[in-house]
Chains A and B, each alone.
Chain A
Amino acid sequence: MIGLDHYLVVSLIVFALGLFCVLTRRNAIGVLMGVELMLNAANINYLAFARYSSGAYDGQIFAIFVIMLAAAEAAIGLAIVLGIYQTFQSIDLEATETLRG
């Protein structure tokens, strides 16, 4: 029987892979993909807890808000990435060190 733990473990693995992606990628789009992985892991957790608790809709509504914020984040983030590309001709995060103090 599939229980709450199974979903939490899947979510944990996806989150860890997303974190690894964020930490190691030097491509700005790769970093954004890692953020999407982590947001999806959080959503799986929200829905799993919503399913295995009182049955109220709060968890699902939080998941919808997370999806909405992920859409806004992706739009803004990719617009910034395109702006970086136009300025530096590269989206390597190590090439964009103009702000380094």
Chain B
Amino acid sequence: MSALVFYLIAGVTVASAAGVAFSRNILYSAFALMGLFMGAAGLFVMLAADFVAVVQVLVYVGGILVLTLFAVMLTHRISDVRVSNRSVGSLPALFIVAAIGAVMAKAVFATSWHAISPRVAQPTTYGIGNALLTGYLLPFEVASVVLLAALIGAVMLSRKELKPDERGSKG
């Protein structure tokens, strides 16, 4: 039963990833990205990481995916029927991916992982909260500064120039 669910979720994840990578239409790629994020969240649940799965759904599906869709919609003209998503130079890329993938596959299969059999799944929120505010307090605070910097940076990058005399005549 558990194996069946795993193969189902893994199939959805891999198929969505293939859709993102190979779709001709960038809008279809963006929607396939949603399948990938949901599939990854399902895998996280199967790995007993309930909090990370919820964060994945909230941040990726609720935030990043919507942002990506906004960008897709904003960067082509409405009258333009064909959304550009063409791929160039897929043969060298295929070679590079095959080389790196072969190295990673060898790393996966040739290493004897000392995998211990997992325990019964417990709720992880309490432990993660404790760890974030004790051992990981400094990275946690740095992360908030990073997010603030990203917020200000995104606003600075995308705002309209209001003063024409400040930088050229663009207004």
Contact B146–A68 (Cβ < 8 Å): yes
Contact of A24 among B49, B71, B93, B132 (CB under 8 A): B93
A101 within 8 A of B: no
Contact A14–B93 (Cβ < 8 Å): no
Contact B85–A30 (Cβ < 8 Å): yes
Expressed in whole angstroms, the minimum distance between the Cβ of B105 and any Cβ of chain A is 6
Contact B93–A48 (Cβ < 8 Å): no
Using a Cβ–Cβ cut-off of 8 Å, how many residues does chain A contribute to the interface with B?
70
Residues in chain B near residue A92, CB distance under 8 A: 84
CB contacts under 8 Å to B, within A75-101, are: 75-76, 78-83, 85, 91-92, 94
Contact B157–A76 (Cβ < 8 Å): yes
**Given A18-B17, A23-B93: A12 touches B150 (CB 8 Å cut-off):** no
Residues in chain B near residue A9, CB distance under 8 A: 108
Digit string of A48-72 for contact with B (CB within 8 Å is 1, else 0)?
1011111101101101110111111
CA of A21 to CA of B163, assembled, Å? 40
Expressed in whole angstroms, the minimum distance between the Cβ of B33 and any Cβ of chain A is 6
Given contacts A17-B14, A33-B29, A78-B67, 19 further A-B contacts (CB under 8 A): A2-B2, A6-B10, A14-B40, A23-B92, A27-B26, A29-B72, A30-B26, A37-B36, A44-B43, A47-B43, A52-B118, A53-B115, A53-B116, A57-B124, A71-B63, A72-B146, A75-B67, A79-B153, A83-B157
